Amino acid sequence: MPIAITAAVLRERGASYRIEALDLADPGPGQLLVRIRAAGICFTDVGVQFYEQGTPLPQVLGHEGAGEVVAWGEGVTGYAVGDRVVLSYASCGSCPRCAHDTPQYCANFMALNYAGVLPDGSVPMTNGGEAIYGGFFGQSSFATYALAYPRNTVRIAADVPFAHLAPFGCGMQTGAGTVLNSLAPKPGQSLAVIGTGGVGLAALMAAADSGCAPLIAVDRNAERLTLAGELGATHLIHADGRDLTLALREILPDGLDFIVDTSGAPPVARAGLEALAPQGQMALLAVTPPGTEITINPNVLLAGRALRSAVEGDADPQDFIPRLVAMHVAGRFPHDRLIKAYRLDQINEAVADMKSGATIKPVLVMD
Ligand SMILES: [Zn+2]
Ligand SMILES: [Zn+2]
């Protein structure tokens, strides 16, 4: 029998969410039913809300769910009712990249995370008979219940509030994983974070924990820079229109070892690239509007410099999320300082606050 749920539905590109009563399908073979207690909002949700990304509507978005296991379908083992879980991105487990433990580059990533349907092609939710797409990142967690899969359902033993667990599913994993897994700085290597939103500050906290020095934060928002300083940045650059390459080279005349750019602004990315040391690496993590292009002088890549990306922090959530939670419990990853809680029916206010910069990491709390 379908489950009655409450969800935030996005009906048109650029529209506000509407809170609706829906029916969610029972968990089928290989699926878990999770009662969602909190769900973070990430810029990927905002991107789908405002830009055409091939995601069908109406749909329930949300891909940073945390909650409790309620039930499961045939073939699922290893979970108990009431298990506290974090939901992350979905991967197939059977393609060559999944087999090589790089599920973030799963050959079926788009189908499993963006298609709006379950892997068997069915639409998971209805509103009085009208089909509502879901399965977003193998969850659709802007809702009171969601269907998920063993591969993206990570059990958490630690007694951490759900509102603090939720952002580990994507934003914190993306920022921290880019530093810890993709760039892997050694203590004493320099790193700059450009754009100190949720992903940027996650990168910064991971870099501080890795012993990066100097550790530079760049933002237009002075308040966020103050927070970046409290979270471990040794140098703060207020991006007030001055030449960013010069500002970075004032601190490090020979250039930076690593840059994480979450700004999505082409001139900023170019300025960062020109401030890299030989063999320096810059990771681009921003969600940019379609049509965005960055113009670079290829000579800046000489001397082994690299411009790269990383999906979901190059992390396998089953290993990496428990590691981040342990860092948090040990006081080494105080991401709770970025979070502001909202009720599910305040989702439009939460998105507006995230876009304006008033809130770094909005988390919807369902209980
Ligand atoms: Zn795969
Ligand atoms: Zn995300």
Kindly identify the ligand whose nearest atom is closest to the C-alpha of 316.
1
- How far is the centre of ligand 1, averaged over its atoms, from the C-alpha of 168 (Å)? 21
Mean pLDDT of all residues in 270-274: 94
- How far is the centre of ligand 1, averaged over its atoms, from the C-alpha of 101 (Å)? 9
pLDDT at 45 over 90: yes
Backbone angles phi, psi at 273, to 5 degrees: -55, -40
Kindly identify the ligand whose nearest atom is closest to the C-alpha of 262.
2
- How far is the centre of ligand 1, averaged over its atoms, from the C-alpha of 99 (Å)? 7
**Peptide bond before 96: cis, by omega within 30 degrees of 0?**
no
DSSP tag of 2: P
- How far is the centre of ligand 1, averaged over its atoms, from the C-alpha of 315 (Å)? 14
> What are the distances in angstroms from CA 110 to CA 91, 164, 174, 220, 283?
9, 27, 17, 33, 21
- How far is the centre of ligand 2, averaged over its atoms, from the C-alpha of 96 (Å)? 24
Q: Which residue has the tokens 């809170």?
A: 19
Same fold across 3-169+334-365 and 175-311: no
CA-nearest of 5, 104, 122 to 60 is: 5
pLDDT at site 290: 81
pLDDT at site 286: 86
339-343 and 361-365 beta bridge pairing: parallel
pLDDT at site 1: 84
361-365 and 84-87 beta bridge pairing: unpaired
Q: Which residues of 195-205 are buried (b: 16+ CB within 10 A; e: fewer)?
A: bbbbbbbbbbb
How many whole angstroms separate alpha carbon 252 and alpha carbon 277? 9
> What are the distances in angstroms from CA 305 to CA 193, 211, 255, 347?
17, 22, 11, 41
- How far is the centre of ligand 2, averaged over its atoms, from the C-alpha of 43 (Å)? 6
Structural contact between residues 237 and 217, judged by C-beta atoms closer than 8 angstroms: yes
**Peptide bond before 214: cis, by omega within 30 degrees of 0?**
yes
Residue 215's H or E segment, with its range, is strand 215-219
Mean pLDDT of all residues in 51-65: 93
- How far is the centre of ligand 2, averaged over its atoms, from the C-alpha of 290 (Å)? 17
- How far is the centre of ligand 2, averaged over its atoms, from the C-alpha of 282 (Å)? 20
ipTM of the complex: 0.97
CATH number listed for the domain at residues 175-311: 3.40.50.720
Burial-class residue 326 by CB neighbours within 10 Å (0-12, 13-18, 19+). middle
Q: Which CATH architecture has domain 3-169+334-365?
A: Alpha-Beta Complex (3.90)
Structural contact between residues 147 and 139, judged by C-beta atoms closer than 8 angstroms: yes
Kindly identify the ligand whose nearest atom is closest to the C-alpha of 87.
2
Structure-derived torsion over alpha carbons of residues 36, 40, 45, 46, reported in degrees to the nearest 10: 140
- How far is the centre of ligand 2, averaged over its atoms, from the C-alpha of 48 (Å)? 11
pLDDT band at 234 (very low <50, low <70, confident <90, very high): very high
pLDDT in tens, 145-192: 999 999 999 999 999 999 999 999 999 999 999 999 999 999 999 999
Kindly identify the ligand whose nearest atom is closest to the C-alpha of 88.
2
Kindly identify the ligand whose nearest atom is closest to the C-alpha of 62.
2
- How far is the centre of ligand 2, averaged over its atoms, from the C-alpha of 38 (Å)? 15
pLDDT in tens, 98-136: 999 999 999 999 999 999 999 999 999 999 999 999 999
Residue 260's H or E segment, with its range, is strand 256-261
Beta bridge partners of 308: 283
- How far is the centre of ligand 2, averaged over its atoms, from the C-alpha of 298 (Å)? 30
Spatial CB neighbours of 289, under 8 Å, sequence gap ≥ 6: 51
- How far is the centre of ligand 2, averaged over its atoms, from the C-alpha of 242 (Å)? 31
Mean pLDDT of all residues in 233-242: 94
Domain ranges of the chain: 3-169+334-365, 175-311
- How far is the centre of ligand 1, averaged over its atoms, from the C-alpha of 100 (Å)? 9
How many whole angstroms separate alpha carbon 131 and alpha carbon 23? 10
pLDDT at site 364: 98
- How far is the centre of ligand 1, averaged over its atoms, from the C-alpha of 181 (Å)? 19
Name which of 137-141, 286-290, 362-366 the model is least confident about: 286-290
Q: Percent of the chain, pLDDT > 70?
A: 100
- How far is the centre of ligand 2, averaged over its atoms, from the C-alpha of 18 (Å)? 21
